[in-house]
Amino acid sequence: MELLDAIRRRKTTNGAFLPDPVSEEHQRVLLEAAGRAPSQLNSQPWRFVVIENRDTIRQIARISGESMTETMSNGTFFERYKPYFRFSQAEMDEKRSGMLFDKLPAPLRPFTGQVFTRRGQTLMNALGVPKTLGAENRRLVEGSPLLLGVMLDRSEYRPGELSSFYSVFSMGAAMENVWLTTVELGMGIQFISFPMEAPGRWDEIVELLRVPDDLELMAVYRLGYLPPEQRRPAIDWSSSQRRLASQYVFRETCDTPQRGWDEQGRPA
């Protein structure tokens, strides 16, 4: 596959994977791609833990689902991220960023305008939305054949020094390599970040994975092969929209937005 095709097709998988295990050869290729990323002074600050043990995956799935229910029902999730939620295509077309909640169960649709109010939160809780979403997230994680923990060598992350920025930037490059490689291999990938949002829950995962003190667990992903037909979860979003070049590229100085590219090769 051409690299540009892979870049254009790369996306986050919100739905289920096939139950088939990820072949060892594919695991090796994914981690080779990660290790090929650029890093400050070739320090390679990343470490990875590949998780296939069903019991460990079940436990992480439980923590993830519970964290989602908790942060959605106490409002912290919506409070933190409300600038990114879109509830109509018109809003998405205007902002060209964020997450468009374009699949909602019918009883919820009339209330999208109230999601961020106290009344809206009470209503959502009464309708059991956080519970439903948490249970769905738990099922999705539990049904994943492989989880990938991404760790940062703490000695490369020295707060107050440029090294901290460099090392995190390098981790991003490594993960993008993994993400792009999933496209080539017919796989999908999704970040499991709710346990980071709920106090204390990330530490449970750190303990489960026996992450040593000299490493920081930065992220956990779920991976697997994609089914031929992707069924969308009951509540789902899409985020394939991108800004126009004129909204994020400047020419020579930051005073001059790029002109003339918006009509060509416009991202979906």
Ligand X SMILES: Cc1cc2nc3c(=O)[nH]c(=O)nc-3n(C[C@H](O)[C@H](O)[C@H](O)COP(=O)(O)O)c2cc1C
Q: Compare residues 15 and 123 and give the one whose CB is closer to ligand X.
A: 15
Q: Compare residues 99 and 123 and give the one whose CB is closer to ligand X.
A: 99
Q: Of the candidates 193, 204, 233, 249, which one interacts with ligand X according to CB under 6 A? A: 193
Q: Compare residues 12 and 56 and give the one whose CB is closer to ligand X.
A: 12
Stretch that binds ligand X, among 24-32, 56-64, 186-194, 245-253 (CB under 6 A): 186-194
| Residue 139 in contact with ligand X, rule: CB under 6 A | no
Q: Compare residues 78 and 191 and give the one whose CB is closer to ligand X.
A: 191
Q: Compare residues 242 and 251 and give the one whose CB is closer to ligand X.
A: 242
Stretch that binds ligand X, among 69-77, 152-160, 161-169, 189-197 (CB under 6 A): 189-197
Report yes or no: 264 and 57 within 8 Å, Cβ to Cβ: no
What is the nearest approach in angstroms of ligand X to the Cβ of residue 141? 11
| Residue 239 in contact with ligand X, rule: CB under 6 A | yes
> What values do phi and psi take at 220, rounded to 5?
-130, 135
The token pair at 21 is: 């295990």
Q: Of the candidates 63, 68, 190, 223, which one interacts with ligand X according to CB under 6 A? A: 190
What is the nearest approach in angstroms of ligand X to the Cβ of residue 238? 8
Q: Of the candidates 6, 12, 18, 258, which one interacts with ligand X according to CB under 6 A? A: 12
| Residue 111 in contact with ligand X, rule: CB under 6 A | no
What is the nearest approach in angstroms of ligand X to the Cβ of residue 133? 12
Q: Compare residues 88 and 240 and give the one whose CB is closer to ligand X.
A: 240
3-state secondary structure the chain: CCHHHHHHHCCCCCCCCCCCCCCHHHHHHHHHHHHCCCCHHHCCCEEEEEECCHHHHHHHHHHHHHHHHHHHHCCHHHHHHHHHEECCHHHHHHHCCCEEEEECCHHHHHHHHHCCCHHHHHHHHHCCHHHHHHHHHHHHHHCCCEEEEEEEEHHHCCCCCHHHHHHHHHHHHHHHHHHHHHHHCCEEEEECCHHHHCCCHHHHHHHHCCCCCCEEEEEEEEEEECCCCCCCCCCEEECCCCCCHHHHCECCCCCCECCCCCCCCCCC
Residues within the interface to ligand X (CB under 6 A): 11-12, 99, 190-191, 193, 239-240
